[in-house]
Amino acid sequence: MTAQPSTTHPTVEVRGVSRHFDGGGHTVYAVRDVSLTVPPGELLAIVGRSGSGKTTLLNLIAGLDRPDDGSVYLDGREITSASEAELTALRRSHIGFVFQSFGLLPLLSAAENIALALRIAGASSRDEGQRTRELLEMVGLSARAGHRPYELSGGEQQRVAVARALANRPRLLIADEPTGELDTVTGAQIFGLLQAAAAEGVTIVMATHDPLIVDYAHRVVEMSDGQFVESGEVRSALGR
């Protein structure tokens, strides 16, 4: 279950990937011939307007969706042709997810939400308790372990979601607008947690609108109309 650092392969490699959808009479090219390499431990932020293709690209990287063209490699392994069962197993063991809307199970406490992720991955109940405490401590919520999501603030819920996403020591964390529903200060806390995870070697690919990301990401790329914008000027594009 421990992440196996690979010295020979980037964590994520996207080669010439395209994805289009039927937009009701016309074709929407959500991602157009995109290539991207993300080395281990990098915190990469993808910025861009709504509809520019960020979520589609994240879904393709995580094997939640398949490209019409091109290939995606995780740790050097081509996932484009993997079976659904292989992809599910790969996601469970290799990838953590954080979404805008937190996605916690409402009837479970903070600790139970985290423990469930460990159990699904096959942790023993002894390891489960210890690792859950460790994770709650890491996100600063030891005192809130028994609270259910509705008893927690948005920022606290997202911290639980980050702990849950990191529970199984994924190689890769996919975060889609993780601060989209949070105020600036709370959002910065989430970015700080993700930055700390990257420092521990977790590779992070994040879509965000939040200009604060330039203070946390190792690299920021901008998407527009399904492609990366050719520029190193993303800081200015974000008004920084």
Ligand X SMILES: Nc1ncnc2c1ncn2[C@@H]1O[C@H](COP(=O)(O)OP(=O)(O)O)[C@@H](O)[C@H]1O
Among Mg ion, ligand X, none, residue 187 binds (CB under 5-8 Å by kind): none
Scanning 12-148, the segments in alpha helix (DSSP H) are: 54-61, 84-94, 110-120, 125-138
Asked if 106 and 150 count as a contact pair (C-beta separation under 8 A), the reply is yes
Choose the contact partner of 48 out of Mg ion, ligand X, none; CB within 5 to 8 A by kind.
ligand X
List the structure tokens of 148: 């259910």
Q: Which one among 11, 55, 113, 179 touches Mg ion, defined by CB under 5 A?
A: 55
Name which position in 21, 107, 184, 200 contacts ligand X (CB under 6 A).
21
The answer to whether 179 contacts ligand X (rule: CB under 6 A) is no
- Tell me how crowded residue 40 is: count the other CB atoms within 10 A of its CB: 19
Least distance from Mg ion to the Cβ atom of residue 114, Å: 25
Binding mask 28-67 toward ligand X (x if CB under 6 A, else -) reads x-x-----------------x-xxxxxxx-----------
Question: CB under 5 to 8 A by kind: which of ligand X, Mg ion, none does 23 bind?
Answer: ligand X
CB nearer to Mg ion: pick between 74 and 206: 206
Q: How many residues does the chain have?
A: 240
| Segment holding 17, helix H or strand E | strand 12-22
**Which of Mg ion, ligand X, none sits in contact with 180, Cβ below 5 to 8 A by type?**
none
Report whether 221 contacts 228 (CB < 8 A): yes
Q: Which stretch binds ligand X (CB under 6 A): 20-28, 68-76, 93-101, 194-202?
A: 20-28
Question: Which CB atom, from 21 or from 201, has the smaller least distance to ligand X?
Answer: 21
Q: Which is nearer to ligand X, 53 or 67 (CB)?
A: 53
**Cα dihedral: 20, 9, 138, 221 (round 10):** -40
Asked if residues 173 and 204 have their Cβ atoms less than 8 Å apart, the reply is: yes
Q: Nearest approach, Cβ of 66 to ligand X (angstroms)?
A: 12
Nearest CA-CA partner of 48 in 227, 199, 189, 191: 227
Beta carbons within 10 angstroms of residue 168's beta carbon = 21
List contacts with Mg ion (CB under 5 A).
54-55
Which parts of this chain interact with ligand X (CB under 6 A)? 21, 23, 28, 30, 48, 50-56, 207
